Chains A and B, each alone.
Chain A
Amino acid sequence: MSTFFNYTRQRRVKNIVLDILIALVVIVCVFPFIWMLMTSIKTRVQTIDPSVWFFQPTLENYRAIFQKRDMFMYINNSIIVVLFTTLISVALGTFAAYGLARFQFNRKEDIAYWILSLRMLPPMAVVIPFFLLGRFVGLLDTHLLLIIVYLSFNIPFTIWMMRGFIEDIPRELEEAAWVDGCSRFQAIRRIIFPLIAPGVAATSIFCVIQSWNEFSLAFFLTSFNARTIPTTVTFFLSVLGVIWGEMAAVGIVATIPVLIFALIVQKYLVRGLTFGAIKS
């Protein structure tokens, strides 16, 4: 009896230790975000005093970034670029994904994996030719150029994600529709599309997050008019030490939408992170 008691007690202690470790992991993951949140509502003097944990919050930094720092322009640029690159990628990519999912043809997997390999290209190799070409045709610092360049990683991503979602849907559903007299295209619209709609939504959100966070390409291909939110870092690097609070406020404004989106697609996260290779 007493050994049984000891055993359960040992187990309970072990569980408590493991729970504490999990709490630690969560704290470490969240802490920089919390610190950003706190810094954004501190006064200038408080931002350089890490011993201040409880204070009267101020919204001064948020007022400043919208009034003095043209935050709206950055947000506006980011939204335009992200919206169009996502729409185009999902439209083109979903069709290609259907082609890969539903047809058999020579070298199909070679093509599919070639497409995926494009997703891995280092931005530094992509950006030099685009910088020069953009300069020749006068497209530098335009939304259009960024939208086009972002397609280079969003289309391969969409194709792989959507291929998985389409393959999850039994062929028989479509075939039944054909028997009932639907053309392939009608069957896609009436049968397939409603079923893959959650997949389309999830894939779009991943494209939005990737494009919204993208820095390297935006940094080289824009200079003033088309600057997106991640490039605000270049501005703050030159004046830091003075305005940590404003920087943090920009950070909160920039990351809240991403975090909300990420929570929506949490279910598909592993799938998205591995381009559909691992479905959880």
Chain B
Amino acid sequence: MKNKRKEHYWYLLPSLLTLVAIVIFPTIFLWYMGFTNYDLTMGWEHHKLIGIRNFQYLAFEDKDFWHSIKISLWFMVFTVVIEFVLGLAIALLFNRRIFGKRLWMSFLIIPMVITPTIISLIWKLMLNTEYGVLNYILSLFSIAKINWLGYENALWSIMMVDIWEWTPFVALILYAGLQSLPQEPYEAVVVDGASPLQTFYYLTLPLLKPIILIAILLRSIDSLKIFDIVYGLTQGGPGNATELMSMHIYRLGFRHTNWIGRASANAMVLLVIITILTNILLRIMRRGTRGEF
């Protein structure tokens, strides 16, 4: 349709202007802050630009910064891989005739829509060494008590909660993908005498690939941003055992020190990593004609 009058502007402008005002402008401000020495205890008029000193501090003096990046990436890789494998298994489990399927699937929604901070406290109760229900259940099988939130295990426990929360998400997306697969190729391979495993590997997985990539990237982006569950379960502790990237920014800028400048610099690092992942995700979404996977 021809559109000489630029009519579309009138539909798009209110949203675009709002987004520029509340996202772009603050982001520019964040970049500016990343190059200043501002901290919350000083008056605003005393702040000054200090070049890349904040980044030098993060890179060369702040061991916790590298630690947070390391465990964040590890957290991302581990949770996403497990969530994908389990999610695919669950999607396949549901991808057949089951009595009352809709009802069972609606239970899968619970972990991902329940308020994360609140459920993280419930997990904290369930993971308690002395009176947590998990150790109680283990004791029925005569397994010794596990110190779930101790230094050694805390990161694993947070991963476990993240996996509990988001595996159903991956499962539902992959299930939707399985349901929308075309029938004809399957009829063809049955004629060719392929085994179920071969069919799965050479046919189902390739057909599902775009959806798998979307699910994995959405999860990767989200898991790098994680803050609420960590806050509820450990607040980054014990020590720095679970100080993931967002938690480290929080500690730099708000909790122990008030170094907004350094925290901003760290937030920029996180922003850059997320932006790279987002661009990959969007490119994949764009390549498949939208909505026709």
The interface residues of chain A lying within 8 Å CB-to-CB of B264 are 128
A215 in the interface (beta carbon within 8 A): yes
B270 A125 Cβ-Cβ under 8 A: yes
- Interface residues in A73-96 (C-beta closer than 8 Å to B): 92-93, 95-96
Assuming the contacts A28-B164, A103-B7, A113-B282, asked whether A280 and B271 have C-beta atoms less than 8 A apart, the reply is no
The interface residues of chain A lying within 8 Å CB-to-CB of B291 are 164, 167, 276-279
The interface residues of chain B lying within 8 Å CB-to-CB of A209 are 113
B154 in the interface (beta carbon within 8 A): no
B132 A270 Cβ-Cβ under 8 A: no
Bound form: Cα–Cα A276–B290 in Å: 8
Assuming the contacts A29-B107, A124-B225, A216-B227, asked whether A105 and B3 have C-beta atoms less than 8 A apart, the reply is yes
Bound form: Cα–Cα A184–B227 in Å: 45
Bound form: Cα–Cα A51–B138 in Å: 12
Bound form: Cα–Cα A216–B95 in Å: 36
B214 A21 Cβ-Cβ under 8 A: no
- Interface residues in A114-146 (C-beta closer than 8 Å to B): 115-118, 120-126, 128-130, 132-133, 136
A122 B26 Cβ-Cβ under 8 A: no
B93 A18 Cβ-Cβ under 8 A: yes
Query: Max chain B CB contacts within 10 Å: which of A21, A121, A152?
Result: A121
B116 A115 Cβ-Cβ under 8 A: no
B195 in the interface (beta carbon within 8 A): no
The interface residues of chain B lying within 8 Å CB-to-CB of A255 are 114-115, 118-119
Assuming the contacts A251-B121, A262-B109, asked whether A124 and B12 have C-beta atoms less than 8 A apart, the reply is no
Who on chain A is nearest to B98 by CB? A22
A26 B104 Cβ-Cβ under 8 A: yes
A251 B119 Cβ-Cβ under 8 A: yes
Who on chain B is nearest to A209 by CB? B113
Bound form: Cα–Cα A199–B87 in Å: 27
Who on chain A is nearest to B8 by CB? A103
A263 in the interface (beta carbon within 8 A): yes
Query: Max chain B CB contacts within 10 Å: which of A30, A129, A244?
Result: A129
- Size bracket of the B interface: 35 or more
B3 A104 Cβ-Cβ under 8 A: yes
B158 in the interface (beta carbon within 8 A): no
Write out, one digit per residue, whether chain A residues 25-42 have a CB within 8 A of any chain B CB (1) or not (0). 110111011011001000
B136 in the interface (beta carbon within 8 A): yes
Bound form: Cα–Cα A118–B172 in Å: 24
A123 B23 Cβ-Cβ under 8 A: no
A251 B26 Cβ-Cβ under 8 A: no
Partner of A125, one of B1, B268, B286: B268
Bound form: Cα–Cα A5–B225 in Å: 54
- Interface residues in A240-280 (C-beta closer than 8 Å to B): 240, 244, 247-248, 250-251, 254-255, 258-259, 261-263, 266, 269-270, 273-274, 276-280
Stretch of A54-62, A64-72, A189-197, A230-238 lying at the B interface: A230-238
6 A-B pairs in the complex with CB atoms less than 8 angstroms apart: A96-B14, A129-B30, A212-B115, A233-B120, A259-B114, A277-B285
In the complex, besides A213-B114, A220-B254, A273-B172, 19 extra interface pairs with C-beta distance below 8 angstroms are: A32-B122, A32-B123, A33-B114, A50-B133, A98-B11, A100-B8, A104-B1, A117-B282, A123-B227, A128-B30, A128-B260, A136-B44, A213-B113, A233-B118, A258-B113, A261-B113, A266-B106, A269-B109, A270-B172
Q: Measuring CB to CB, which residues of chain B are less than 8 angstroms from any residue of chain A?
A: 1, 3, 6-12, 14-16, 18-19, 22-23, 26-27, 29-30, 33, 44, 90, 93-94, 96, 98, 102, 104-126, 128, 130-133, 135-137, 164, 168-169, 172-173, 176-177, 179-180, 211, 214-215, 218, 221, 224-225, 227-228, 231-232, 235, 245-246, 249-250, 253-254, 260, 263-264, 267-268, 270-271, 274-275, 277-279, 281-282, 285-286, 290-291, 293
Of all A-B residue pairs in the complex, the 8 with the closest CB atoms, nearest first, are A99-B11, A280-B176, A129-B26, A103-B8, A96-B15, A50-B136, A233-B117, A50-B133
Q: Measuring CB to CB, which residues of chain A are less than 8 angstroms from any residue of chain B?
A: 18-19, 21-22, 25-26, 28-30, 32-33, 35-36, 39, 47-51, 92-93, 95-96, 98-100, 102-105, 109, 111, 113, 115-118, 120-126, 128-130, 132-133, 136, 148-149, 151-152, 155-156, 159, 164, 167, 184, 209, 212-213, 215-216, 219-220, 229-233, 236-237, 240, 244, 247-248, 250-251, 254-255, 258-259, 261-263, 266, 269-270, 273-274, 276-280
